[in-house]
A and B are shown apart, each in its own frame.
Chain A
Amino acid sequence: MTTTVLTPSTPATSQPDAVVGRTRRPQPRIPLTRIIGVELRKMFNTRSGFWLMASLVITNVLATAAIIVFAPDDQLTFDNFAAAIGAPMTVILPMIGILAVTSEWSQRSGLTTFTLVPHRGRVLRAKFLAATTVGVVSMFVALVVGVLGTLLGSAVAGVDPVWNVSAAHFALIVLGSVLGMLFGFMLGLVIRNSAGAIVTYFVYTLVLPPLLGLLAANQRWFADVQPWVDYSYAQRPLFEGTLTSQQWQHLAASGVLWFLLPMAVGLFVVRRAEVK
C-alpha cells in the first residue's frame, strides 16, 4: 500500500498556560419529578399536542350535547352520558400515549432529550407517569362533564337526574381507559414511529376482535382460552362495572401477554438502540 500515512502526533504541549479550567460546582442529579414536568409540557406545547388534548374536552362536550338533544327523556341517565363520553376517550387517550413516545423518534427531538438526560429508562419512566397522569386527570374532567350533562339534561327534560354509576364502577372505567392509553404507550415504545403505531393500534382494536370472535365461534378450544389470551376481551368487563375474581385473572393473564411482555421487549430494545 502506498498511501500516505501521517503519524499521529500528539498535540504540542507548548501552549500558553494562561488557560485555566473553570471551576465546576458539584451538580445534583436531575430529579425524576422535573423530567415528568418537562414531559407533561411536551404533551401540550405543539399545535397537534394541544388540539389532541383539547379534543378530549371538545368530544366530551359534543357527546354530552348529543345525548341531551337526541336521547329520549328516560335515557338521560348518568351511565349513558358516561358511555357516550367514554367512547371518544378510548380512542384519543391511546393516541396521546402513542405520540408521547413516538414523537421523540418521528420528530427526532430524542436527540436533544436523550442527550440532556442520557438515561432512556428514566425518560421513559417519566413519560409513562406523565401519560398516566393525563389519562387519570382527563377521566375526571370527563366525570365533571358527565355530571353537568346529566344535571342539564334532566333539567331540560324536566326529570330527576339518575345517578346510576357507583364510585367503584367509575374507578374501573378509569382503569380501563388508562390501560387502553398505556397499551398505546407500549405500541409507541415497540414501534417508535407515529404512523406505524397508530395503524397497529387500530388493527388491534378494530380488526383483531372480530377475527378472534370468529375464531372463538368456530373453534371450541379457542372459545375456552379466549378470555385468558384476548386482552381487549378481558378489558370489556371493566367498563361494565363488575369483575369476578376469574375475570381479574383473565385481565392479568392477557395483560402479561399483550402488555407487559411487549413492553419489556420494547424497553430492552430502546435502551440499546441508536438515536439518530
Chain B
Amino acid sequence: MLDMITVESLTKKYGRGMTAVDDVSFTAATGRVTGFLGPNGAGKSTTMRIIVGLTPATSGTVMVDGRRFTDLPNPGTEVGVLLDASAQHAGRTGREILTLAQRTMGLPRSRVQEMLDLVSLTSHEADRRVRDYSLGMRQRLGIGTALLGDPDVLILDEPANGLDPAGIRWMRDLLRGFADQGGTVLLSSHLLHEIEVVADDLVVIGNGRIVAQGTKSDLLAAAGTIVRARDAAALAQAMESAGLTFSGHADGSVRTEASPDRVGEIALAAHVVLTELRAAEGAGLEEMFLELTADTQREGAAA
C-alpha cells in the first residue's frame, strides 16, 4: 500500500483573513477509497482544486505519485478528475466533450464510445447538448471523462450528487472495483451513508481544518460515550475535575472519548444522577460527523 496522494500542511488564505483550508495534511493510499467528508464550505472543494493545480495554495505541498500534479506529462492518463459535473460548455454534446478530452490526452477514438458504454449513456443521449442533461447524466459524463485516460488515481468531488439510487449503487461498485484493482480513490461527499459504505479511510474536515482522520473502523471504534444527567452542570464539573475532554450538546447530552465504564464511575463518585449512559459505538458515522462538524462550526461560541 503506497501513499499515492500526499497532502502536507496545506493552507489557503483569501483576503480579509478568511482561511478556507487550514494546515490540512492527509494521504490517500493505493487500493483504498479515501472519503473526504465535510459540510458545505468546509474546504473540501478548495483542497481538491489545489491538488490538481486549479487553485494556488498559500503554503503547503501536494504530491501525486511523488510528483507535483503540474509536473505530470499527461495528467489525464494518470489522474482522473471530476470536480464539478456542471462545469462544461452547455452547447457541446456529451460525445464532443469526451472527444475533446480524448484528443487532448492523445487516446484512440474508440475510448469515447467505450466510456459512453461504461457510464450507460445511450448514443441518443451522447449526441444531445449538455444543457439538456440532468445532473445525474452530467455526473455520468464527468465520471466517463475522469476514467477516459485509464488513470491510477481518481479525484472526485461529490460525484454521487444527482444520481438516482441505482446510479449511486453503480458508482459505489465502480469505485470499489477501481480501488480493488490497485487504484487510488479520493472522494468527497456530504452524503455520509454513501461514504460510510464505500470508503476505507476517512478524512473529516470542518471549517478548513481536519477534525478526524483514520481508517473507517478506527474512527467508528473511537466513538466514545454518550452520557446525560439530570444535573448537567454537576456532571460537567465532575468530568472536568476527572480530566476528561468532552463536548456538550443542545439536547443536554454530553459526548466524551472515555469509556462508559469510566464515566459511570465518575458520576457515581460525584453523586450525579445519570439518565442515560451508553457507548456511542455503532451510532454511525453520521452522528460523529455531525457532531464533529457542529463543534467546529460553533467554535468560539461553545467553548
Question: A-side interface residues toward B, CB under 8 Å?
Answer: 1-6, 8-13, 15, 17, 19-22, 24, 27-30, 34-35, 37-38, 41-42, 45-49, 103, 107-119, 272, 274-276
- Residues in B with CB closer than 8 Å to A110 are 87
Q: List 17 A-B contacts (CB under 8 A).
A: A2-B248, A4-B245, A4-B292, A13-B1, A19-B31, A22-B152, A22-B183, A30-B104, A34-B104, A34-B106, A41-B99, A42-B100, A103-B89, A113-B104, A114-B53, A116-B75, A276-B54
Q: Which interface residue of A37, A110, A111, A272 has the most chain B CB atoms within 10 A? A: A111
- Residues in B with CB closer than 8 Å to A41 are 99-100, 103
Selected from B91, B103, B246, B248, the residue in CB contact (under 8 A) with A48 is: B91
CB distance from A48 to the nearest CB of B (A): 6
The segment out of B118-126, B160-168, B188-196, B212-220 that lies at the interface is B212-220
Q: Assuming the A-B contacts A27-B73, A107-B89, A115-B52, are A45 and B2 also in contact, with contact meaning beta carbons closer than 8 angstroms in the complex?
A: no
The segment out of B78-86, B108-116, B260-268, B269-277 that lies at the interface is B78-86
Q: In residues 223-279 of chain B, which contact A (Cβ within 8 Å)?
A: 224, 245-248, 255-257
Selected from B88, B89, B101, the residue in CB contact (under 8 A) with A116 is: B101
Q: In residues 45-81 of chain B, which contact A (Cβ within 8 Å)?
A: 49, 52-56, 65, 69-70, 72-78, 81
Q: Assuming the A-B contacts A3-B302, A119-B70, A275-B55, are A47 and B91 also in contact, with contact meaning beta carbons closer than 8 angstroms in the complex?
A: yes
CB distance from A61 to the nearest CB of B (A): 25
Q: Assuming the A-B contacts A116-B75, A118-B70, are A4 and B295 also in contact, with contact meaning beta carbons closer than 8 angstroms in the complex?
A: yes
Q: In residues 1-59 of chain B, which contact A (Cβ within 8 Å)?
A: 1-2, 27, 29-32, 49, 52-56
Q: Assuming the A-B contacts A47-B91, A107-B88, A118-B52, are A6 and B219 also in contact, with contact meaning beta carbons closer than 8 angstroms in the complex?
A: yes
Selected from B54, B210, B212, B222, the residue in CB contact (under 8 A) with A114 is: B54
Contact B56 A3 (CB under 8 A): no
CB distance from A79 to the nearest CB of B (A): 38
- Residues in B with CB closer than 8 Å to A37 are 103
- Residues in B with CB closer than 8 Å to A27 are 72-74, 77-78
Contact A45 B92 (CB under 8 A): yes
B96 within 8 A of A: yes
- Residues in B with CB closer than 8 Å to A11 are 27, 29, 32, 200-201, 214-215
Known: A9-B213, A22-B182. 12 other contacts (CB 8 A): A3-B247, A4-B224, A4-B245, A4-B246, A6-B257, A8-B213, A22-B181, A27-B78, A34-B104, A48-B91, A103-B89, A111-B83
- Residues in B with CB closer than 8 Å to A22 are 152, 181-183
- Residues in B with CB closer than 8 Å to A3 are 245, 247, 295-296, 299, 302-303
